[in-house]
Structure 1
Amino acid sequence: MRLFRTTRLAVTAGLAAVLALLTGPVPAQAAEPAWGLVASSCTPPAIAANRAVGIGLVEVEAYWDRYLPSGPGAVDTAYAADLRARVTACLDNGIQVVLGPGTQYPPAWVRGLPGAALVDQRGKSPVTGAIDVVYSAAARQAQDDYLRRLVADLPSARLDGFRVGTSTAGEIGFPGPNEAGDGFLQSWWAFGADAQQGTGLAAGTPVTPMPGWIPGQRTWNGRTVTPAMAQNWFLWYSRSLLYAIKGQVDTLRAAGYTRPVHVPSPGKGVLPADLTTATNALLGGAGDRDGSLGRGLFYVDQFPALAGNVAGPLVVDLTGVDDATAVSARALNPPQDRCAASDATTSVASGTPVQNWSNLRFARAQAARAGLAAVGENPGPPGPETGGTATSDPIAEQIRRSPGYARSCSLIGFFLAFESVLDDPASGVTRQDYVRAVTG
């Protein structure tokens, strides 16, 4: 499904139309991806600029702290009206919209709810502002109320997608390395009273199978901790994220939203061999290649579980298109950055050097194994608000290479990060550059 035709007229069908073509297992070669932008303002100038080059798909970000700034039910009607007007304006002008609800921006009053503070094994909380919507019933209920209000307040039946997540980036995952702010690299964010004792635990989420056990400890309640016990604890931890994602999706469905839900998923997650290394060391620090262990990201297990337990249609949003791992993977001989039709099988076969694959390639293979459609987005330029780093491709190179990665990995859509970059003369890139990359 081309977003850019040779005449540069915007198409009216978006990801939902593409998704409707994909029934059963994701095919090795899907239709042409839909091409879009991350974080569109949907203001009249942005709409005009996007329509002028044929951009017909955008992600629009809402902000929880602006929508409900002062308390439960205390909607800022001016902000809500502005958000509704901008989303509607894009839709009325033929631009499809995927909504990012902005649950990563919780209001101050939510932070004060019982159990809302994430707690690691040392009693620390994240300095990044992350809250506990995984285990805390009070925080989860506040979030659910916000999601229901968005569905009712926006033209949700016309949306092309609705994102859900648990992290400060709006993605699936717990906080990452050093988010406790003191240089400690591996926090496990499951040591509040809710997760450990069941006090104020979100409905349907299981309490820890080993209350009081801290990863790395060799004994628990007088018993020797085995690698199997450590693995069971990690699976409880990582699957806790799925209960939170399922809870959001269930809330959206109960509120009447029936269209695709997107789950932004960073990196490649824990590799099976690394999990073996980590659990053999009782989760004491070994085997954590990129911080995925503490984040609870294990796509080999999580994507099939999502596919089997979350009401569809469901789309995985892979946020590592042409990230730093693609740069290093393509430098190998042979290159390991592009997806192959056999990846879904070989990615979990013993001896496959998946540690050399790009994040996109491995994560896409896990989505394919689960029969899930996938979209993607690039990290954007280096900065605190992006996924770009000093070793990523420059933004112009990301624009040039990302369409090829999207096609090789059979993504049904790609979102370029960010609209504001294309509006910034200092960035050196424009919408025309994006069009040329897609159509050239």
Structure 2
Amino acid sequence: MPPRPRRRPSDRTTRARLASVLALCLVAVGSTSTLPPASAHEGAADPAHAYYGILGANALDLTTLTGTGVTAVSLEVGWDRLEPQRGRVDPVYAAQVAGRAEQIRAAGLDVILDAGLQYPPSWVFDVGGDTRFVNQYGDVWQGQVGARVPDAVFNPRVRRAQNRYLHRLSAVLDDGPIAAIRVGGLWYNELHYPPATVGDHRNSLWAFSPTAQAQSPVPGYRPGQGTTEETAAFLTWYLEEINDYGMWQLRHYRRAFGWRPTLQLLLPGWGVRPGDVDKAVAGGLRGATRGELTGALNEGLDWAGLLPRAATVRGHNEAYTTWVDAADQGTDPVYESPVRHLVRLAEPLGLPVAGENTGTNSPEEMQRSVDRVHELGLTGLVWMNAAQLQDGRWATLDDYRRLLAP
């Protein structure tokens, strides 16, 4: 099973742009939060018992991990490969998946499953209703490999197809334990809408297909138009809908795979921060406020709304950042790094936090990521990815080994 090509939306260009936006916002609005400092929430877990993993490990020689301190590796599956025809599992590919899972366990490592909902088979786009996201400009989201995802937020037929697939995958992997499962379901298997910018269009909001509009509390509303009340109703609904999909996944992964695996709820980007929603509503969703300029509102990164709900799902679940290497832009909750902000939100709920880096990271950024396991009490760190660790241009497996040494 060769690894899929994978690019992160939070690559170096995007990270630099976001840092610039945040710096401008810091100058413009200052620091006004009254929340306690993040240090009040540090030490939520015992770093001596944290897990350390590697992503993109399908082709990795597992013997190279002996003595490194790595305890888990990912098993990436493609929905399109396992179920290329609706309701029919490819037996050859299924045997490959089950065999790789057994190899990982035989090497004394834990299996972190990526079910591959971000690699949908072509037939999913024909299940009925609008199966693609549409923004207010009429752009239909297509995306590249790993981001070419159907609209499971607003289309229940897509969700039903995903649910059946998860049960089929569970049956394939029924011979051994899965330690953790990556949960997100949308592009790059993270929980967020498509990006705010598509082509020449900025400030995209992805709830304008006929299927989505039929569910809107203000059908026909367009950003920049309507009353303040209509804008607030639309944005509240827009954020709640993607959080509902996140909750749907947590429940249905549990039904398919049981209570044992840790469910890692993949939360990308910077996230919606205090004041973002109110400012965007007051500005009429015209794309000029901080939460819109960073793309957090457009992508639906409402962690403050999601995590209290996620904490109610039975089993071990984690708030999981895919940007653990991000530098703090300030000490205020608006400008602290995503992982620090997730700890601030999750710790009072008793919800653990773990994460991964964005990729193409330096040894210094790897050091920062590992340090945060200890500083913030993270339950785990999974490195993105195996190929980059062996490439020589970025942080290496030897760097990882040195940092994980007792």
Residue 295 of structure 1 aligns with an amino acid whose one-letter code is: E
* 1:282-321 pair list within 5 angstroms: 282-287=284-289, 288-308=292-312, 310-321=313-324
Shift in alpha-carbon separation, 1:185–1:267, aligned structure 2, 3 A: same
For the 8 Å contact 2:163–2:252, the answer to whether it is kept is yes
The counterpart of 1:81, out of the listed 95, 100, 103, is: 95
Query: RMSD across aligned C-alpha pairs, in angstroms?
Result: 2.1
How does 1:237-248 map onto structure 2 within 5 Å?
A: 237-248=238-249
Whole-Å separation in 1 of the counterparts to 2:202 and 2:153: 21
| Equivalent residue, structure 1, for 2:206 | 189
SS of aligned partner of 2:46 = coil
Percent of paired sites with the same residue? 30
1:112 to 115, 126, 129: 126
Q: Higher relative CO (CA 8 A, sep ≥ 6), structure 1 or 2?
A: 2
Task: Find the counterpart in structure 2 of residue 405 from structure 1.
Answer: 372
Deviates most, 264-273 or 372-381: 264-273
| Selected match of 2:347 from 341, 344, 368 | 368
Report the Cα offset of residue 52 of structure 1.
Answer: 4.4
Structure 2: distance between partners of 1:375 and 1:188: 29
Residue 65 of structure 1 aligns with an amino acid whose one-letter code is D
Partner Cα separation in structure 1 for residue 230 and residue 348 of structure 2 = 26
Q: CA deviation at 1:61?
A: 1.4
How far apart, CA to CA, are the structure 2 residues paired with 1:156 and 1:317?
Answer: 27
Q: Which amino acid is the alignment partner of residue 364 of structure 2?
A: E
Change (3 A) 1:147 1:294: same
Question: Given the alignment, which residue of 65, 71, 76 partners 1:50?
Answer: 65
Query: Is contact 2:323–2:339 with CA below 8 Å preserved after alignment?
Result: yes
Q: Are the equivalent residues in 1 in contact too, given 2:112–2:178 (CA < 8 A)?
A: yes
Aligned to 1:124: 139
The match for 2:19 is none
CA distance 1:98–1:156, change in 2 (3 Å): farther
Does residue 439 (structure 1) correspond to residue 405 (structure 2)? The answer is yes
Residue-by-residue CA offset, 1:98-135 (whole Å, 9 max, x unaligned): 10111111111112332211111122111312320111
Task: Identify the residue that residue 278 of structure 1 maps to in structure 2.
Answer: 280
Give yes or no for contact 1:176–1:292 (8 Å, CA) kept in 2. no
Q: Alpha-carbon deviation of 1:58?
A: 1.4
Aligned amino acid, residue 284 of structure 1: R
What corresponds to 2:193 in structure 1? 174
Shift in Å at residue 156 of structure 1? 7.2
From 66, 70, 78, the equivalent of 2:81 is: 66
What is the DSSP-based 3-state SS (H/G/I as helix, E as strand, rest coil) of the residue aligned with 2:341? Answer: helix
Matched with 1:213 is 221
Q: Distance in 1 between matches of 2:394 and 2:301?
A: 35
Structure 2: which 5+ runs fail to align? 1-40
Rate the CA distance shift 1:156–1:268 in 2: closer, same or farther, 3 A. Answer: farther
How far apart, CA to CA, are the structure 1 residues paired with 2:394 and 2:270? 30
State the shift of 1:303 in Å.
Answer: 1.1
Aligned 8 A contact 1:375 1:414 in 2: yes
State the alpha-carbon separation in 1 of the partners of residues 395 and 246 from structure 2.
35
Taking the aligned partners of 2:96 and 2:276, their CA distance within structure 1 comes to 47
Give a deviation string over 1:394-417, Cα, whole Å, max 9, x none: 422222221101221211000011
> Counterpart of 2:325?
322
TM-score where L is the length of structure 1: 0.76
Q: Which amino acid aligns with 1:317?
A: Y
- Moved beyond 4 Å, runs of 4+: none
Q: Distance in 2 between matches of 1:120 and 1:415?
A: 33
The CA deviation at 1:157 is 5.7
Preserved CA contact (<8 Å) 1:376 1:406: no
Q: 3-state DSSP class of the match of 2:181?
A: strand
Give distance in 2, aligned partners of 1:286 and 1:370.
33
1:292 & 1:191 partners in 2: Cα distance? Answer: 18
The match for 1:377 is 356
CA contact (8 A) 2:43 2:374 kept: no
1:326-356 deviations in Å (ceiling 9; x for gaps): 0x63xx6xxx4xxxxxxxxxxxxxxxx3233
Q: 1:417 corresponds to which residue? A: 384
Q: Distance in 2 between matches of 1:156 and 1:264?
A: 26
Q: Which amino acid aligns with 2:383?
A: L
Task: Classify the secondary structure of the residue corresponding to 2:280.
Answer: helix
Deviation at 1:256, TM superposition (A): 4.5
CA contact (8 A) 1:277 1:286 kept: no
The structure-2 alpha-carbon separation of the partners of 1:264 and 1:254, relative to structure 1 and needing over 3 Å to count, comes to same
SS across alignment from 2:103? helix
**Preserved contact between residue 151 and residue 257 of structure 1 (Cα < 8 Å):** no
CA displacement, residues 231-285 of structure 1 (integer Å, 9 cap, x when unaligned): 3321211111122222223222223521221111012311121221101012221
Q: Distance in 2 between matches of 1:140 and 1:247?
A: 9
In the alignment, the residues of structure 1 paired with residue 175 and residue 305 of structure 2 have an alpha-carbon distance, to the nearest angstrom, of: 31
Q: Output the CA distance in 1 between the equivalents of 2:126 and 2:355.
A: 34
Contact residue 172 and residue 264 of structure 1 kept, 8 A: yes
For 1:296 and 1:420, the matched residues in 2 are separated by: 31
1:409-433: CA deviations, max 9, x gaps?
Answer: 2110000110111222x43543221
Deviation at 1:174, TM superposition (A): 0.5
SS of aligned partner of 2:61: helix
| Cα pair 1:121 1:191 within 8 Å, conserved | yes
Q: CA deviation at 1:136?
A: 0.9
